[in-house]
Homo-oligomer: A and B are copies of this chain.
């Protein structure tokens, strides 16, 4: 019995500036059937405030407590462990760290810094790691589908570069970290075997959720999906469907019967 749904945002509910047709209605139908819904994103180019504004502008109902971001996980870790962040993140994400301590020892926090991934910024982060700073990665995604329709480099390759250079393994805050999936399920009071993930990333969203023990991992063919993705990662998706509407149909049918 599926009682909770985890939804990726970018590529599932919207593609760039455009809503995926039927997305708002699909979310409504899931809620109307009594399912709890949480939104898990590795998108690290938008603040949490902006994410919620954008989803509402697309007609998708969302309560702020339903949105889980890697930056929030990182903030929790920094404050619990007494570190100030050395940020290598997108400028639009800096506001998510505005409540952080600025004194004390630094921890390197790497997100999708985009043009911020200059050699000098990468080297400064490397040197901080060399001097013993802890290393937090907001995400380890390889690529995302860019505005021009082509794939572009996400945070993952730059996290790998810094790990290779420093010999320090990053603590992953976003998907597919099992802790990230678990925190969102805890907030719904839902066990992994009662939960399903819907995502366009066969690796981070779908294989990640299944590895974290979720009952279902549904891959949609929108967003960054490319033909063959369903065979590239282990565990393989429970199902592959056209879009969020078909994913909702599948889950509601599964729940009904």
Contact = CB atoms under 8 A, between A and B. Distances in A.
Interface of A: 113-120, 122-123, 126-127, 130, 142-143, 150-154, 156-158, 160-162, 164-165
Contacts of A150: 127, 130
The 5 A-B residue pairs with the shortest CB-CB distance, nearest first, are: A157-B161, A161-B161, A157-B165, A160-B164, A117-B119
25 contacts: A115-B118, A115-B120, A116-B119, A117-B119, A118-B118, A123-B152, A123-B153, A126-B151, A126-B153, A126-B157, A127-B150, A127-B151, A130-B150, A142-B165, A143-B165, A153-B161, A153-B165, A154-B165, A156-B164, A157-B160, A157-B162, A157-B164, A157-B165, A158-B161, A160-B161
Contacts of A160: 157, 160-161, 164
- State the copy count for this chain: 2
- Interface of A, secondary structure class, is helix
B153 A122 contact: yes
A83 B100 CA distance: 50
A219 to B, nearest CB: 18
Contacts of A152: 123, 126-127
Contacts of A156: 164-165
A215 to B, nearest CB: 29
A187 to B, nearest CB: 32
Given A116-B119, A117-B118, A123-B153, 10 more contacts: A115-B118, A119-B153, A123-B152, A126-B153, A153-B165, A154-B165, A156-B164, A157-B164, A157-B165, A158-B161
Nearest to A142: B165
A255 to B, nearest CB: 37
A114 B160 CA distance: 18
Contacts of A123: 152-153
A59 to B, nearest CB: 32
Contacts of A151: 126-127, 130
Contact of A117 (B122, B130, B162, B165): B122
A113 B117 CA distance: 14
